[in-house]
Homo-oligomer: A and B are copies of this chain.
Amino acid sequence: MPTIVVDVMPKSELLDPQGKAVSGAFERLGVTGFGDVRIGKRFELTVDGEVTDEVLAQAKKLAEDVLSNSVIEDVVGIEVVE
Contacts and interface: CB of A to CB of B under 8 A. Distances in A.
Interface of A: 1, 7-9, 22, 25-26, 29, 31-49, 55, 58-59, 62, 66-67
B55 A33 contact: yes
B35 A44 contact: no
B41 A42 contact: yes
Give this chain's copy count. Answer: 2
Contact of A40 (B9, B38, B41): B41
Given A26-B62, A29-B66, A33-B55, A38 B47 contact: no
Contact of A42 (B25, B42, B66): B42
Given A22-B66, A66-B22, A66-B25, A38 B34 contact: no
